[in-house]
A and B are shown apart, each in its own frame.
Chain A
Amino acid sequence: MKINIKNEEIRSERVLRIEEIAGENIFKCYQCGKCSAGCPSADQMDLLPNQVVRNLQIGKVDAVLNSKSIWICASCFMCWTRCPRGVNLTALFEACRQVKLRENIDEVGLKQTIQEAEEMDIPQIAVISVLRKLTS
């Protein structure tokens, strides 16, 4: 597959913002794939965790921010704890969500979330977590 990498995209403002929010250097990653091997949500993701980092490295930030993966990650910390380079992917995923949320793009609707929670005895921690992680 041919990919066009543009010089001006590689260190774009959004990539730098993601790194800053996460407090992480994306170039520490050498693409071994251990994060994706351990990720319990990998089978549900359209971009595997290592592919998320690779896309950020080559400046394909839109592919990451438009992916389902960043919303499927539930911050279980498996990727970060198993990474041989200590890359905090959990924080990188959080930063990707934050960039979108700070642009006022919510992943779920408040009304619908509350309604669904009321239909079943959903634990309070789940309701608060969804609102914290998926809305701005």
Chain B
Amino acid sequence: MEVSYFPGCTLKQTAKNFETSAISSSKLLGIELKELSRWNCCGTVYSLATDDSMHHLAPIRNLIRVQEEGSKEVVTLCSMCYNTLKQANELVRAEPDRLQKLNDFMYLEEDYKPDLEVYHLVTYIKDNVGYEKLKDKVTNPLSGLKVAVYYGCLLLRPDSIKLDDRENPRIMEDMMEALGAEVIDFPYHNECCGSYHTLGKRDLVIERTNKIISEAKLDGADVLVLSCPECDFNLDHRQKNTLEKYPSFETMPVLYFTQLMNIALGGDLADCGFELNYIDPIPLLKDKGILK
């Protein structure tokens, strides 16, 4: 099956490994992620000011691109893109006047009719492949790998866009179990990583990284799994700064869920792009017998 795919800017730059591993693993599941022929930045943060329509133009313009391609569904990977596109879609559905205003502003575009759905890849796989079938397709199970699943904020909140129950989600845990991993109980699964404060308030992020990774370690995890290039930067790359501040800090590999899925489904290792991970997961994965 083919589905429209919105990559967003970061997957083309610092998080290329998220995209390559997603395209590869989706293909192994029979899903062709077809990148939109044109797209722009989603705006990254959904505007919460009720009198601000300007910042909803970017996400809605992207949804017009999806509509132009005759598609009723669009899949995203980045949590920030997912949150912004989906919240904007829900907004114009709830407020027809706002939609009219945005359509009038973009008078050279065709009108947006809010009848398409924004999906995160996890939901798309669960709904269209199913975890039973996913399990059947596993050729290299993640046996013995203890995984802490980290959702962060933007996949679970606010309620209008949540992938699953926002306090006790299971959607990514069930996926990891289908891939053969052992999921550990991890209370910081829906905490905030400090997000964009990584630029300007680095110390705040270092404290978060220390807290979140140390807790995962304490709970017995081998790796942390997530779905956001921002969380990934803070929880993986900022481990360098965390270690400088706290010499006794113990590092841990942080992976995109698609990287583990690609390994479990027998995808090409090159598509995992592990060279972009700050903490190299390869020694651990070899130690567990998951990689040869």
A residues within 8 Å of B by Cβ? 20-23, 40-41, 44, 72, 74-78, 80-81, 88, 90-91, 94-95, 98, 108, 113, 116-117, 121-130, 132-134
Contacts and interface: CB of A to CB of B under 8 A. Distances in A.
Contact of A126 (B41, B43, B191, B199): B199
Contacts of B192: 40-41, 74, 76, 78
A81 B78 contact: no
B195 A129 contact: yes
30 contacts: A20-B50, A22-B49, A41-B204, A44-B204, A44-B207, A72-B197, A72-B204, A74-B196, A75-B195, A78-B157, A94-B47, A95-B49, A108-B200, A116-B200, A117-B199, A121-B14, A122-B199, A123-B198, A123-B233, A124-B13, A126-B195, A126-B198, A126-B230, A126-B233, A127-B199, A128-B44, A128-B45, A129-B195, A129-B230, A132-B44
A32 B112 CA distance: 42
B75 interface: no
Contacts of A116: 199-200
Interface in B57-84: 78, 80
A119 to B, nearest CB: 10
Interface string B212-241: 000000000000000001100100010000
Contacts, number: 120
Given A22-B50, A77-B158, 18 more contacts: A22-B48, A72-B204, A74-B194, A78-B192, A80-B157, A91-B49, A113-B199, A116-B199, A116-B200, A124-B9, A124-B13, A125-B8, A125-B80, A129-B44, A129-B80, A129-B230, A130-B196, A132-B45
Q: Interface centre among A20, A40, A41, A123, by most B CB within 10 Å?
A: A123
Contacts of A94: 47-49
Given A116-B200, A125-B10, A81 B50 contact: no
A49 B166 CA distance: 20
Contact of B78 (A125, A127, A133): A125
Contacts of B195: 74-76, 126, 129
Given A20-B50, A123-B233, A124-B13, A77 B157 contact: yes
B42 to A, nearest CB: 9
B239 to A, nearest CB: 14
Nearest to B240: A120
B208 interface: yes
User: In the complex, which range does the number of interface residues on chain B fall in?
Assistant: 35 or more
B138 to A, nearest CB: 30
B199 A21 contact: no
Contacts of B14: 121-124
Contacts of B48: 22, 75, 88, 90-91, 94-95
B118 interface: no
B157 A74 contact: no
B109 to A, nearest CB: 22
Nearest to B51: A21
Contact of A123 (B157, B158, B200, B230): B230
Contacts of B166: 81
Interface string B260-280: 000000000000000000000
A77 B190 CA distance: 11
